[in-house]
Amino acid sequence: MDNTVIAAWLGGLLIGWFIVLHFIVIGRSAGCSTGYACIIDKMHKKTNLFGKLDNFKFFFILGLPLGGLAHVFLFQGTWQVSFDMGMYEGILPAGTVIRALILLIGGVLLGFGARMAGGCTTGHALVGGALLNWSSILAAILFFAFATVTSWLLFSGFSIN
């Protein structure tokens, strides 16, 4: 699919080490969805919407796109704008507006669900798993189970090549 992608076992090792490195350097768990809450919190100064937030998470998610950019420059040659959705091209309606709307709704579910569940794939599956935190592991299993059911529904009747 993508020849710049590294072997799964190696990627797993590196990401596992990253989770540990984050604990060593910052002293707290890594996480992505909290960074979004930090952005909303900064825009919504009057009321406290989320309780206590780790504000450094804002800087963490600021780094994420820069990491994506670095990967393109180091391994993929030229940076180019793309709207391609791979296999999703076959199941989503063709119009740009309706497509963006579906992704927006999916994003709303991700944002709302992550805050309600108390974390996303990084915080619950990767970090919660590393801490053997049972409620996080339950959340990770449920994320996966509900995403699997939804994907099967989305792709049912869609043949892959």
Q: Encode 110-131: b = buried (16+ Cβ within 10 Å), e = exposed.
A: eeeebbebebbbbbbbbbbeee
Q: Is 98 in the site for another protein (CB under 8 A)?
A: no
Going from the C-alpha of 157 to that of each of 34, 47, 147, 161, the distances in angstroms are: 37, 47, 17, 12
Tokens 């600021």 sit on residue: 62
What is the closest distance, in whole angstroms, from the C-beta atom of residue 158 to another protein in the complex? 9
Nearest residue to 114 (alpha-carbon basis) of 125, 130, 104: 125
CA separation for the pair 109, 119 (Å, rounded): 13
What is the closest distance, in whole angstroms, from the C-beta atom of residue 120 to another protein in the complex? 5
Binding string, 17-36, against another protein, x = CB under 8 A?
A: xxxxxxxxxxxxxx-xx-xx
Q: Is 148 in the site for another protein (CB under 8 A)?
A: yes
CA separation for the pair 153, 147 (Å, rounded): 10
**Of 84, 94, 95, 159, which lies in the binding site for another protein, with binding defined by CB under 8 A?**
84
Q: Is 14 in the site for another protein (CB under 8 A)?
A: yes
User: For residues 49-68, which are near another protein according to CB under 8 A?
Assistant: 49-50, 56-57, 59-68
How many chain residues touch another protein (CB under 8 A)? 119
What is the closest distance, in whole angstroms, from the C-beta atom of residue 122 to another protein in the complex? 5
What is the closest distance, in whole angstroms, from the C-beta atom of residue 94 to another protein in the complex? 14
